[in-house]
């Protein structure tokens, strides 16, 4: 795992998700990988070890309206405002 410059993990994850949305990789309505899968990925790429940290990032993006969560279903990219 890379040595970390100090941007908190949750902020790095938010940046990554925002970048994917902005690039069109994850268009509006796209379903994100599950929290567990995201943890695997950000574990490899950033060194994150806990689902709580992934949740921290997603939670903030839900608050800001960039993502929409549906319990039991998944998390989706919000439609354009």
Partner DNA sequence: GACAATTTGTCCGTATGTATT
Partner DNA sequence: CAATACATACGGACAAATTGT
Residue 9 partner contact from a second copy, DNA, none using kind-dependent CB cut-offs of 5 to 8 Å: DNA
For residues 27 and 69, which CB has a smaller minimum distance to DNA in the complex? 69
Give the residue ranges of DSSP H helices in the chain: 9-23, 35-46, 51-63
Q: 3-state DSSP call for residue 64?
A: coil
Quote the CA–CA distance of 62 and 13 in Å, as a whole number. Answer: 13
For residues 34 and 64, which CB has a smaller minimum distance to DNA in the complex? 34
Residue 31 sits in the site that holds a second copy (CB under 8 A): no
Quote the CA–CA distance of 69 and 45 in Å, as a whole number. Answer: 24
Residue 45 partner contact from a second copy, DNA, none using kind-dependent CB cut-offs of 5 to 8 Å: none
Kindly state the smallest distance separating residue 68's Cβ from DNA, in Å. 8
């Amino acid at each position: 795992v890379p040595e970390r410059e100090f941007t908190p993990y949750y902020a790095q994850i938010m940046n990554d998700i925002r970048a994917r949305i902005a690039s069109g990789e994850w268009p509006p309505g796209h379903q994100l990988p599950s929290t567990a899968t995201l943890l695997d990925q950000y574990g490899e790429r950033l060194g994150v070890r806990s689902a709580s940290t992934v949740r921290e990032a997603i939670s903030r993006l839900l608050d800001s309206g960039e993502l929409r969560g549906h319990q039991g279903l998944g998390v989706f990219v919000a439609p354009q405002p």
